[in-house]
Structures are given as structure tokens and as C-alpha cells.
Amino acid sequence: MSDVLIIGTVAFDTIETPFGKVEKALGGSATFASYAASFFSSPAVISVVGNDFPKDYVELLKKKDIDLEGLQVSGKTFHWDGSYEYDMNEAKTNKTELNSLENFKVKVPEKYKNIRNVFLANIDPEMQLETLKQVNRPDFVVLDTMNLWIKIKKKALIEVIKKTNVLLLNDGEARQLFDTVSLVKAANRALELGPKAVIIKKGEHGALLFTKNKHFSAPSYPLENIKDPTGCGDSFGGAFIGYLAKTKDLDEKNIRRAIIHGSVMASYNAEDFSLDRLKKLAMSDIENRYKEFQDIREF
């Protein structure tokens, strides 16, 4: 039985970074999130792909015991074309072909409806809301989004935030959403909407956790070989909720540990394109880098 429900995109990604280019590689927020979560828990995915989606990609996800009953098939697969310059904290969207995502109607399979942990990975906030409507009151909801939805669907996004336990944003999105340069003010405004915790991801500079009375600063990892940051936010979120689902402890101290597991996964993900680095990852790699993170913080 799955313990983490993930809605998001399963995509073809065409990506160019200063270190190379890939065309129509496997990507999408639900792909990275579920793959990262699968190291700790049993994810179940809700998304859509086209008839052009290769069987190999499906097999890759199934091999990690990711439940794909909620993966609909129709038309052509969503295609994102993005690029990065030397500052890899910000992706530039060159082209978005929605394809089958355009008419996607969320349908949560019966057997997913009692899953206790839900990750609303980056997708249209109205689809995130619809997912919450169809499930039976989960214990724990984590939400991720992107600049596009802040710009064009802010009202729906605020509605989802109100139903969320933990909100994930990157620093640029936090400033954009709450119209302030201060990340502390942005986090406080987000907490006023209902979430118990807000995590502001700062790309290669680590992540900040804000709760009502506490603040934690997760270190960044000094990554030597970085090729492609696509999917780092999604891998972070997937590992974060996967770790919490496995440990079943929502205490602030354990949330800190979950953030470091998220950071470990995101740092590995950036070492290669698509899922290429995560595909080779062993649990011992995760544990070793987790220890390195602990050392970085000791003084």
C-alpha cells in the first residue's frame, strides 16, 4: 500500500545548460518527486502522459515500486523546453507545450483515496485543489508551485496554501507571491494563511525553515560537478515527504532532518541530466552525504 500520494507533471524535458543539452528526456515534477520519495517510501502518482510516452520510462518508475494506476494516457506528452545560464538558480522557459495536460481531469483512483501523505508537486493549482477534494482528509499535505502559477492563478494558489501543512517555495517565488524583498516577512505572511511550516529553498545556497516561533537554516552542499538543476526542487520535495512518511514523526527536529534528506537528494540530482544521477544512487550514497551535511554544520 502506498504511503505518499503525488500529483504533478510527467514530462518530456528539452534542457540546455552550460554543460550540455538533452532532448525529450524524462522529466516533470511528479517524476522527480516520486523517484526521490521512493528511496524512503512507496509513492503513488496522479498525472497524464501521451501515447508517445516510451515504455522504458514507465518501466524505470515501476522498478522503484512507484504506483502508476493514476497515470492517465491521452494525446501527446507535456513538453517543457528550458535553459540555464551560468547562474543555474533560475530556469528560463523557452517553450511549454501543454498537450495532454491541457484537458487533464484529475481522477484519484479509489485505492489512493486513503493515503495519509499528499505531495501537491508543481502543476496547475486548480488540479491540486481538485486532488484534495477527492481524497479522504489526509494527515499531511505538502505544496510546491512555480512562478507561472503565482502570476496567472494566484487566487487558486492561495486557496491551496490554506489547505496545506508545509509550503515549499524558492526565494524568488516567496518574494513574488507576497510582494516583499524580506524572506522573513514572506514566510510570516505564508504562515498566517495556515501552513505550520514554510520552507524557502535557496538553490545552491541551502534552505530556510520557518515555523511559528522557530527558524532553521539548512546548509548548502559544496557541489563540484553540477550539470543540470532541473528537478532539484521536486527531488527535494519528494525526499522531504518520503522521509517524513517513513519516520512518521512531524516534530520540528524531524522536519529539519527531512529538509537535509531533501537537500541531499537535490544535490545528487543536479550532478546529471534528467534522472541519470538518481538512477545510479544507492542508499549508502544518501547516508554518506547526510553525514557530510552534519559535518558542514558542526562548530
Chain positions contacting ligand AMP, by CB under 6 A: 9, 11, 13, 27-29, 80, 96, 122-123, 148, 230-234
> Is the CB of residue 65 less than 8 Å from the CB of residue 38?
yes
Contacts of 295 (CB under 8 A, 6+ apart): none
Least Å distance, CB 121 to ligand AMP, is 8
Which residue lies nearer to ligand AMP by CB, 206 or 247? 206
| Bridge pairing between strands 117-120 and 140-143 | parallel
> Is the CB of residue 209 less than 8 Å from the CB of residue 256?
yes
Least Å distance, CB 15 to ligand AMP, is 8
Which residue lies nearer to ligand AMP by CB, 172 or 219? 172
Least Å distance, CB 299 to ligand AMP, is 31
Give the separation between CA 286 and CA 299, rounded to whole angstroms. 23
Give the separation between CA 202 and CA 240, rounded to whole angstroms. 15
Which residue lies nearer to ligand AMP by CB, 209 or 232? 232
Least Å distance, CB 26 to ligand AMP, is 8
* Exposed e or buried b per residue across 178-189, where buried means at least 16 C-beta atoms within 10 angstroms of its C-beta: beeeebeebbeb
Which residue lies nearer to ligand AMP by CB, 83 or 96? 96
Which residue lies nearer to ligand AMP by CB, 85 or 139? 85
> Is the CB of residue 118 less than 8 Å from the CB of residue 132?
yes
Counting every residue written for the chain, the total comes to 299
Which residue lies nearer to ligand AMP by CB, 33 or 132? 33
Give the separation between CA 28 and CA 11, rounded to whole angstroms. 4
Contacts of 272 (CB under 8 A, 6+ apart): 227, 228
Least Å distance, CB 110 to ligand AMP, is 26
Edge-to-edge strands of the sheet including 92-97?
Answer: 20-27, 11-17, 79-83, 92-97
Least Å distance, CB 32 to ligand AMP, is 6
Least Å distance, CB 40 to ligand AMP, is 18
Which residue lies nearer to ligand AMP by CB, 44 or 101? 101
